[in-house]
Amino acid sequence: MENIRVMVVDNDPNDEIITMKALQLNNIGSQIIKMQDGVTALEYLIQGREIPDGEGPHVPGLLLLDLNMPGMAGMEVLTRLRAEEKTTSLPVVITTSSTDHREISACFAAGANGYLHKSVRFDEFVKNMGEIVSKCIKGYAAALQGAPGQCFPEITDVGNCAALNLLESGIDTCGEYG
């Protein structure tokens, strides 16, 4: 499907395995960069530090970022990424088990391009991963050509965003609210 470099930032080894498998089943990512905490991810993305396998710094085409991590939470990582010119347009999809619509709204307000719920059946997670990543990659490509680069450009008011499909399908498009 998508031949891009993907960074996965997740402190839970089990969630990382599930995410990696979902990427593989969707044929997403020519190279996967794994980070287990937000500090290391920021050092790589912003400061240009190499990762332990000797891979030099490269800004990925997509970042899958766990929201709830010890040390530096995903929201702080997102905020710092959006403050840096180098990473301001990097597509970031938040991955979390949270279903709190205030948290979802805060993620979009902070600059997240998508939100993927982890606590669903694996087959649904795989399907939702493919859908949201495809939308984010298309949105990023459009942004590089001067068009708006949101995964869900129909989102205009995240304050009232109800997690419509979040509980049932694991993906929050927020496109059908009043």
50-81 pLDDT, tens digit per residue, is 655 555 556 788 899 999 998 899 999 999 99
Do 161 and 177 meet the contact criterion of CB atoms below 8 Å apart?
A: yes
- C-alpha distances out from residue 16 to 85, 87, 97, 126, 159, Å: 28, 23, 13, 13, 30
**Is 5-169 a domain of CATH 3.40.50.2000?**
no
The ranges assigned to domains in the chain are 5-169
Q: Which residue from 95, 118, 119 is spatially nearest to 107, judged by alpha carbons?
A: 95
Query: What does the pLDDT average to over 133-144?
Result: 67
Residue 95 has pLDDT above 60, yes or no: yes
Do 35 and 8 meet the contact criterion of CB atoms below 8 Å apart?
A: yes
pTM of structure: 0.77
